[in-house]
């Protein structure tokens, strides 16, 4: 099984006119994905790709060829934030909602923390921690909770 997180590099860095909440959420997603990548064997993942797309390059995925799009003002606009997970059966699950993306990633971090014998945590932003706790996965994402 493989997963690929795609985020906008500019929004991640806080330019692009993104609000602070979006930037914080993207940073939370990338932080979770990096932990998952580091410990991918613990939850039987073959590969974890973190793709940061820039304005000056096509929004092409790195490994999993699925791109979410929406229609805005009669034009097709590619989503700049998405998570694709390839299942054992070959189905591709596409998450385009930022709350869902973070919830799925935090759930994986939680699984890893149960599988390895070390403390695996991600310091989420306030908004990120709130989203994950509301999802009720019982994800252990913040030691202070
Ligand atoms: Zn952006």
For residue 44, what are its two tokens? 């039987």
Residue 59 is predicted with a pLDDT of: 67
Q: If you measure from the C-alpha of residue 54 to the centroid of ligand 1, how many angstroms do you get, rounded to a whole number? A: 8
Angle at which helix 126-135 crosses helix 20-38, to 10 degrees, equals 70
Cα separation, 22 vs 94, whole angstroms: 19
Tens of pLDDT, residue by residue, the chain (145 residues): 899 999 999 999 998 887 899 999 999 999 999 999 999 999 999 999 999 998 887 667 889 988 999 999 999 988 889 999 998 788 999 999 999 999 999 999 999 999 998 889 899 999 999 999 888 665 444 544 4
Q: Which one, of 55, 57, 64, lies nearest residue 6 by Cα? A: 64
| Cα within 13 Å of Cα(116), Cβ side | 18
Q: If you measure from the C-alpha of residue 92 to the centroid of ligand 1, how many angstroms do you get, rounded to a whole number? A: 24
Residue 74 is predicted with a pLDDT of: 95
Domain range annotation of the chain? 2-135
The model carries a pTM of 0.89
Q: If you measure from the C-alpha of residue 117 to the centroid of ligand 1, how many angstroms do you get, rounded to a whole number? A: 37
Residue 25 is predicted with a pLDDT of: 96
* DSSP, res 90: S
Q: If you measure from the C-alpha of residue 127 to the centroid of ligand 1, how many angstroms do you get, rounded to a whole number? A: 19
For residue 123, what are its two tokens? 């310091």
Q: If you measure from the C-alpha of residue 76 to the centroid of ligand 1, how many angstroms do you get, rounded to a whole number? A: 16
Q: If you measure from the C-alpha of residue 4 to the centroid of ligand 1, how many angstroms do you get, rounded to a whole number? A: 18
* DSSP, res 14: T
Cα separation, 22 vs 144, whole angstroms: 23
Q: If you measure from the C-alpha of residue 104 to the centroid of ligand 1, how many angstroms do you get, rounded to a whole number? A: 21
């Amino acid at each position: 099984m493989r997963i690929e997180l795609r985020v906008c590099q500019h929004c991640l860095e806080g330019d692009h006119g993104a609000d602070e909440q979006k930037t914080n959420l993207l940073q939370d997603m990338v932080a979770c994905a990096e932990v998952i990548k580091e410990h991918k064997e613990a939850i039987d993942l073959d590969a974890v790709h973190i793709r940061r797309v820039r304005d000056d390059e096509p929004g092409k995925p790195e490994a999993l060829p699925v791109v979410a799009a929406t229609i805005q003002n009669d034009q097709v606009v590619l989503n700049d934030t998405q998570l694709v997970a390839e299942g054992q059966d070959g189905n591709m699950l596409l998450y385009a909602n930022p709350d869902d993306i973070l919830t799925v990633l935090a759930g994986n971090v939680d699984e890893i923390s149960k599988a390895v014998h070390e403390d695996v945590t991600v310091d989420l932003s306030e908004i990120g921690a709130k989203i994950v706790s509301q999802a009720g996965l019982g994800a252990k994402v913040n030691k202070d909770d």
